[in-house]
Amino acid sequence: MATLLHIDSSVSPSGTSVSRAVTDAFRAAWEEQHPAGTVVHRDLAAHPVPHITADAHTAGFAAPETHTPGQAEAFAARLKLIEEVENADAILIGAPMYNFSIPSTLKAWLDNVVLIGRTAMTEDAKAKGTPVTVVASRGGSYAPGTPREGFEYVQNYLKAVLGDALALDVDFIVPELTMAPHNPAMSDLVPLFEASRSKALDEAAARAKKVAARVAA
């Protein structure tokens, strides 16, 4: 049975969050293709994972039999997150832009799952090549050629971490202008937001079916 690891990090609940709406669309299409499959869902806003600690960090580079009680406890929690990545056939991440970057809860999750020599910077990484779809929503537009292009630290960062360090096969879906319905100064942009959201929902469904077919093959 195929396993999808679904990560959400928006502080906004379903019904108001664009990134959650798009990840939900992906998941629904995925489950249509894999009705007997497994979805592991982590809502990092509702249930944050621990920030990386000295014990969790140092334990990753020490033999288990040498771990102190503190290291053993911290690494057990970290190992659970790592194994979820390693056991996934596909990964789905909701990554809204907060203050030009990713939510701190998502950064904490990444700090736990990036382990040099096991998940990162090694040819032997079990998760290498796993397809990962990132829904990188944002309140404005940071596309090439826009005034705020240089403030885009979500896709650039996640390409480096997910693609380069973890060697995952990364694809982005980018719904933009999500603040338009809520900011009177952006009211003229509401039609563009609606078009971007609709496109993202369609892309999510199509991407899910493509990834599901790839996994099934």
What digits encode the pLDDT tens for the residues 73-111?
999 999 999 999 999 999 999 999 999 999 999 999 999
- Model pTM greater than 0.95? yes
Those residues whose C-beta lies under 8 Å from the C-beta of residue 153, and which sit 6 or more positions away, are 100, 101, 102
Beta bridge partners of residue 6, listed in sequence order: 41, 92
Which whole number is the average pLDDT over 105-134?
97
* Cβ count near 195 (within 10 Å): 13
State the helix-helix crossing angle for 18-33 and 190-216, rounded to 10 degrees. 30
Give me the pLDDT at residue 13, please: 94
Structure tokens that stand for 163 in this block: 């693609």
Are the C-beta atoms of residues 74 and 54 closer than 8 Å to each other?
no
Give me the pLDDT at residue 217, please: 87
